[in-house]
Amino acid sequence: MQSQAPDPLDLKLLQALQLDGRAPFNRIAHALGVSDQTVARRFRRLRTTVQLRVLGITDDRRLGRSTWLLRLRCTPDAAEQLAAALARRPDTSYVSVISGGTEVMCAMKPRTRQARDELLLDRLQRTPRVTSVSAHCLLHHFCGGPAGWLSKINALSPGERTALSPPPTEPATTPTVLGDADEALLAILSRDGRAPLTELQAGTGLPESAVKRRLDRLRSSGVLYLDVQFDHEHLGNDVVAMLWLTVAPAALADVGHALATHPEVRFAAATTGQANIVAATLHADAGGLYTYLSNKIGALDGVHSIETALTLREVKQLTYEPGR
């Protein structure tokens, strides 16, 4: 697919939504100096041309839960079927096919230790045509989550960013406990982060004032954030790569923080395993990936080795579903 130069106003709208995915169109329009109708029209067009979605995502760290990254090697004829089966699970948040179609990568957010062990120690081990399973617990996030990759594109001016930024989240002290109404709200927002209050009321059975209070609490506590998802190819990023870096322990934090500043990096985290940092990167083409690896990764002190794999297809992106 041939990419085209992104429109500056489209980029501003995308970054505005990353800052506050529930911002009304009139607030975005006022900050950008355009009409409400222009923002609404651009939003509808982007939903078609780049598959734009605004989704409500939970930060599981605020709930005292861990995220696991699974690498499943399988026979070539099994990857698509395995990825589809994992994508249907409510406890997976990201599923992709990588490495020439013989490996599936999956981010898993188990709600309990029993659920984690059932999948890792039992179900996956008995899945036909899966040849190996490796599981890595994410220990620390350097990049990704509420800020998102769009925060790096600098489409907005400082004044526009200030006008569109929501209030800062509260520092986490103890894990947040969710009630049934919270679970219902998050389930609706996982499908449409801009769902109107009337839909949230219908889904929870709560009055508008109570819905607003719960929504504000979930956002201010950092449990809920709004993520903008779209087809990166249409904005000039035809190559999506996964990097597994083996880094000297003393350099782990420095390398992670350096990766977080790179515009090519949309996610980076410290993880268990021989490769102790995992990163997802975006590039215009294979040459761009080569330049990034040789110039930027190569310049980082403490990086001993790197494994690179291209993402062939993203089967599932980050969503939230309550436990069953």
Looking at residue 58, its amino acid is T
pLDDT value of position 93: 85
Contact 242, 306 (CB under 8 A): no
In whole angstroms, give the CA distance from residue 211 to residue 98.
Answer: 41
- pLDDT category of residue 5 using cuts at 50, 70 and 90: low
Over residues 140-157, the pLDDT tens digits come to 999 988 877 888 889 999
The stretches of 103-248 forming alpha helices (DSSP H) are 113-117, 158-164, 180-191, 197-204, 208-220
| Mean pLDDT lowest among 51-55, 67-71, 217-221, 319-323 | 319-323
What average pLDDT does the chain have?
90
Residue 164, phi then psi, degrees to nearest 5: -105, -10
Looking at residue 167, the DSSP 8-state letter turns out to be P
Looking at the chain, the whole-number percentage of residues with pLDDT higher than 90 is 67
Give one DSSP letter per residue of 219-287, joined into a string: HHTTSEEEEEE--GGGGT--EEEEEEEEE-GGGHHHHHHHHHH-TTEEEEEEESSSS-EEEEEEESSHH
CATH code for the domain defined by 142-147+236-311? 3.30.70.920
Q: What is the pLDDT of residues 88-137, one digit of tens each?
A: 888 888 999 998 889 999 999 888 888 888 888 788 888 888 999 999 99
Of 40, 61, 259, nearest to 146 by C-alpha is 61
105 DSSP 8-state letter? E
- pLDDT for the residue 226: 93
Return the pLDDT at 318: 60
Cα of 299 vs its chain's centroid, Å: 27
Largest CA distance in the chain: 58
**Ranges 139-153, 250-264, 268-282: which has the least confidence:** 139-153
Q: Give exposure, 196-229, as e/b (b: 16+ Cβ within 10 Å).
A: eeeebeebbebeeeebeebbeebbeebbbbbbbb
What is the structure's pLDDT at 4?
58
- State the Cα–Cα distance between residues 37 and 44, nearest whole angstrom: 11
* Whole-number pLDDT of residue 324: 30
Confidence of residue 321 (pLDDT cuts 50, 70, 90): very low
* pLDDT at residue 9, as a whole number: 95
For residue range 161-215, list pLDDT tens digits in order.
Answer: 999 998 888 777 788 889 999 999 999 998 999 999 999 999 999 999 999 999 9
**pLDDT of 322 strictly over 50:** no
The pLDDT value recorded for residue 117 is: 84
Share above pLDDT 70 across residues of the chain, in percent, rounded to a whole number: 96
Separation CA 253–CA 202 (nearest Å): 45
Please, which pLDDT band fits residue 319 given cuts at 50, 70 and 90? very low
Higher pLDDT, 39 or 166: 39
